Chain A
Amino acid sequence: MRISRIARTAAAATAAALLAAGCGSGGTAGSTSGHGGLNPPKLPMLQSLGPGEGQVNLVAWAGYAEDGSDDKSVDWVHPFEQQTGCKVNTKIAGTSDEMVSLMKTGQYDAVSASGDATLRLIAAGDVAPVNTALVQNYADVFDGLKNQPWNSVNGQMYGIPHGRGANLLMYRTDKVTPAPDSWSVVFDGASPYSGHVTAYDSPIYIADAALYLMRTRPELGIKNPYALDQDQLKAAVDLLKTQHKAIGEYWSDFQKSENSFKTGDTVVGTTWQVIANMAQTDHAPVKAVLPKEGATGWSDTWMVSAKAAHPNCAYQWMNWIVSPTANAQVAQWFGEAPANAKACDRTTDKDFCNTFHAADEAYWKDVHYWTTPVKSCLDGRTVACTDYAAWTAAWTEIKG
């Protein structure tokens, strides 16, 4: 989809424009409707790297800061500690929402935020701009990940890209025939699998429905699955309510999801590459594909807290986690495409970057990364779009 790239650029521009226009409403937002776009408070960024503070507190997805406790051979935390003298304290978060709330406490230095958390953190002033000049390995990060609407404002990076993945369509090859190549199998065509369909349990999943509608019902005029006006949201919600009848369970715990596919309680639904890999390792007859409509996805960014007590260690961590070796390790462990181009040479599986389409920009073109929906439409329209609060309410309603 050619348009998505443009849409993203447009969104960035819109966000920047709003940043300029929306000064002064930050403090009491929510009481008025004028708060939709990005209006980050002016925060200083680190100008030069000083000596490490001896420790760093991270909020991370499971598997992003492994210290060998899950698998002895999977450890990129201890080498970091030895090299920098910064002791790593990790708090695992389960959802983007949890990450946002943890960062609001101000007790953490850095966070591995997904695209649906980043903008919220930026707008709230919870994270500071990042001086990429101080992160040596930033130079090797794929260009497709730099200066994106979910990690930058007005050309200013607010974090260091970590890696990316797509939300794929997984199905049981023995139960779902013919092999699906479209999301329709979980929407309009879900009835044969009623009670055994799964979907990601988060308001952000509404974008998956919107993406499907974007292709199947062009008359709705959806240009960006994260920029939905009232009518478009309603269409997506209706689609999801229909889907609800076929749903067996929603998932947010990746291990539970893998287990459901393995037992056959779930036969088709959205997934991550890492789950597909795990299920196949366990000999479950499953396959994961990127359907013809494209997919939503996630691109994670390491961000630094505005109140970081250990900013120098946080910068060193960011530099470390996108260094070729560590980035290759984390990408392989979690099952995602690394952000650092040079990481592809360090993977143990030489085909890894191909499997995960690390350098395949054409592949990512069809992947719409999670972005927080805001009132000011990300696709550049001047109508009012629905924000994440509306999506959250809609999601509760969909699940009944």
Chain B
Amino acid sequence: MKSDDSPPHPDRPAGAVRLEGLAKSFDGRVRAVDGVDLEIGEGEFFAMLGPSGSGKTTVLRMIAGFERPTAGRVLLGGVDVTALPPFDRDVNTVFQDYALFPHMTIEQNVGYGLMVRRVPKAERAERVRAALAMVRLEGFERRRPAQLSGGQRQRVALARALVNRPKVLLLDEPLGALDLKLRHEMQAELKRIQREVGITFVFVTHDQDEALTMSDRVAVFNAGRIEQVGSPAEVYEHPATAFVAGFVGTSNLLDGAAAEQVVGETGLFSVRPEKIRIAHPDDPAGPDELSATGRVAEVVYAGGHTRFLVDLEAGGRLTAVRQNLDEGSADVLRHRGTDVVLAWQRKHTVRVGP
């Protein structure tokens, strides 16, 4: 297991957000968050990834101040804010369904935080204009949220939060309500904006692709705890646990007898599907390679690539992925039922359990 808890930008001072032993139970029973320690650096784009109910959103809400922790502390910029209400914390939130005020215009929505904090009118107008320009919504000032599309509302929510120049921006499943195409656009957009403003972004998602593509670091949540923190590559290439291996990417595990026979060690091992080469039975494995024989049980054609589900002779099943470089769907489907050898480099075998 290899994990790196230090921020990837050592030149920046650490500690925009610091969570110490954070726990939260609802109704005195359910432990939604069960002891979370985390340090997020200045200017980081940080993802909290996990399935629903894993506690990631609750942690975000505790950072924002909407929930009071049952135990532990929240520090923002080194200051303990655990007891402070949301309006006294220097963070802003982009809500999952945006939470725009329906009775206000876009201008009023974006300017709300400034108005509440009694920013002079002229300055307020200028900052609102700049914020709307940053999210490319010039000309929408007088409209109401109901007149905008989902993507536009998303941008308004972003502008409304950023216009206050918070130290940390919290995003709760910010792209969850958008369709796939728009989501990809917004991912790029969010990255651009984060680079522009240079503040810490903490965003919650259940989408591993989103977490991997956008963030500097990822924390993988499971059952109220953090399983692993690290850069996307670390989390993907070197999952610390079987859960991380399964949740980030496809679950591809070798266990028990299969592990002993194929890897030569006892334990639980993970191999990423795209690392696996499908060879002919008589094709020998390389010197640094591990190999396993098996029969193709299922072939899944997915356009750009094809997934082969192979039942191993040693027991268990592995998935291998191959780019469809020159084969069409009819060709790849022929492989069903054939005997194959799977081969991969030893370094791509990651121990995820004893």
Direct contact of A and B (CB under 8 A): no
